[in-house]
């Protein structure tokens, strides 16, 4: 079998769908393995994190196959795979994790010590994350399959709800992680920075956790209008740079219990100029004393496109003394998807979480991926789901 095609990064601003190699049961350095499976990709999503690479804001090499949000059908398995069968429909956490090292055993699967020769943590189709081939393709190999994969309990039910379930690989657990680490609970007031898909997933998660009010700030009018339609309070950052005043107009005071950064290192300030620390500084300004800040937004160690020289090596101009004085708790890093995906699956299957509607999921074919990247980068209020085999009804 060799009819594999995938989305390939071609340099700053460009991706192409090309013929790529059919996956092998081996590690990125060529070591054969028997604990993996090969999936026929049912759905695979374009993520904002992919856009950072495509915009040339990382050190991603040309020729990399992209994609870390994957749902698929098991079509081959190694002899060490015990608990999965051919034909199972599974969700793939974006973290590549061994399940055996110290950090995996502690539940920190985003920091696995055995899947990346250069640093802790691995992911599919992502720069500096171990070289694992991405899943925006027709077929993909997943290692340590028994540990990593979440099997859906009923195939027909899974396919009927696949637009929602496809969000379990990354953005829904990531949004939930951000909300949970921001201390969201019953009656919380919450501010989410960023009305893109992760911000909407964080807002939906905050609501699931019992928040009294969830505000979402952004400059994009279409994304703010969609957030409003989904029942969240839009904060139009185009008005002025006094975020506390806009929050006070909603909740009666210029602060919140919990704040979530769903923007990351490409943040811009009120005047449209890139300010990589602006969101983090705003979080500290508007979070109450003793409050918590969840940071699922991506920050990198190398940003060749940064306008500030210090930011090119991940150094940001943080007003950290303010956060210290207010006793804030901060939580950063990759989301350990396996901590949350089973519970969130149950919330979807039992009608508690209409995440596809909330992030405005739009199904397109694999061949339309370049157009999806272009529209997403332009700020469309949608989450693009690729349909490599036409199993989801893409035109």
Q: Tell me: pLDDT of 1 over 80.
A: no
To the nearest whole number, what is the mean pLDDT of the chain?
95
pLDDT tens digits, one per residue of 265-318:
988 888 888 899 999 999 999 999 999 999 999 998 888 888 889 989 989 999
Q: State the pTM of this model.
A: 0.96
Using an 8 Å Cβ cutoff, are 300 and 265 in contact? yes
**Around Cβ 273, how many Cβ atoms within 10 Å?**
9
Q: How much is the pLDDT for 2?
A: 63
Mean pLDDT (whole number) for 45-74: 94
11, two tokens: 């340099």
Mean pLDDT (whole number) for 94-106: 98
pLDDT tens digits, one per residue of 112-130:
999 999 999 999 999 999 9
pLDDT tens digits, one per residue of 322-342:
999 999 999 999 999 999 999
* Reported confidence tier of residue 197, pLDDT bands at 50, 70, 90: very high
Mean pLDDT (whole number) for 26-55: 95
Q: How much is the pLDDT for 63?
A: 96
Q: Tell me: pLDDT of 395 over 70.
A: no
Q: What does the chain come to in residues?
A: 395
Q: Tell me: pLDDT of 36 over 90.
A: yes
Q: How much is the pLDDT for 394?
A: 45
Pairing of strands 213-218, 189-193: parallel
Percent over 70 (pLDDT), the chain? 99
Give the Cα separation of 93 and 214 in Å (integer).
27
**Where do the domains of the chain lie?**
4-170+337-387, 171-332
Distance from the first to the final alpha carbon of the chain = 25
The CATH class for the domain spanning 171-332 reads alpha beta
CATH homologous superfamily, domain 4-170+337-387: Medium-chain alcohol dehydrogenases, catalytic domain (3.90.180.10)
DSSP conformational letter for 26: B
pLDDT tens digits, one per residue of 125-153:
999 999 999 999 999 999 999 999 999 99
Please say whether the dihedral angle defined by the alpha carbons of residues 368, 371, 377 and 380, taken in this order, is positive or negative. negative
């Amino acid at each position: 079998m060799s009819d594999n095609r995938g989305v390939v990064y071609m340099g700053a601003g460009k991706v192409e769908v090309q013929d790529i190699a059919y996956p092998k049961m081996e590690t990125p350095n060529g070591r054969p393995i028997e604990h993996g499976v090969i999936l026929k990709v049912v759905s695979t999503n374009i993520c904002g994190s992919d856009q950072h690479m495509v915009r040339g804001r990382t050190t991603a090499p040309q020729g990399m196959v992209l994609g870390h949000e994957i749902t698929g059908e098991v079509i081959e398995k190694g002899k060490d795979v015990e608990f999965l069968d051919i034909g199972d429909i599974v969700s793939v956490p974006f973290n590549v994790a061994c399940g055996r090292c110290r950090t995996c055993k502690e539940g920190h699967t985003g920091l696995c010590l055995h899947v990346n020769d250069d640093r802790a943590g691995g992911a599919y189709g992502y720069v500096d994350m171990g070289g694992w081939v991405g899943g925006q393709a027709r077929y993909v190999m997943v290692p340590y399959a028994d540990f990593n994969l979440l099997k859906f309990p009923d195939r027909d039910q899974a396919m009927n709800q696949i637009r929602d379930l496809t969000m379990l690989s990354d953005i829904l657990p990531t949004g939930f992680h951000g909300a949970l680490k921001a201390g969201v609970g019953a009656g919380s007031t919450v501010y989410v920075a960023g009305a893109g898909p992760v911000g909407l997933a964080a807002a939906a998660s905050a609501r699931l956790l019992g928040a009294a009010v969830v505000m979402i700030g952004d400059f994009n009018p279409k994304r703010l209008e969609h957030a409003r339609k989904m029942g969240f309070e839009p904060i139009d950052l185009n008005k002025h740079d006094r975020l506390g005043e806009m929050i006070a107009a909603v909740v009666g005071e210029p602060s919140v219990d919990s704040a979530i950064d769903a923007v990351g290192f490409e943040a811009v300030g009120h005047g449209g100029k890139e300010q990589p620390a602006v969101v983090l500084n705003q979080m500290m300004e508007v979070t109450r004393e003793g409050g918590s800040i969840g940071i699922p937004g991506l920050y990198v160690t190398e940003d060749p496109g940064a306008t500030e020289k210090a930011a090119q090596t991940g150094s940001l101009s943080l007003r950290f003394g303010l956060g210290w004085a207010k006793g804030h708790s901060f939580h950063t890093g990759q989301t350990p998807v396996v901590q949350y995906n089973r519970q969130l699956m149950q919330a979807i299957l039992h009608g508690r979480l209409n995440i596809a509607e909330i992030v405005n999921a739009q199904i397109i074919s694999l061949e339309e991926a370049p157009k999806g990247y272009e529209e997403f980068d332009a700020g469309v209020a949608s989450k693009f789901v690729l349909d490599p085999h036409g199993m989801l009804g893409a035109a």
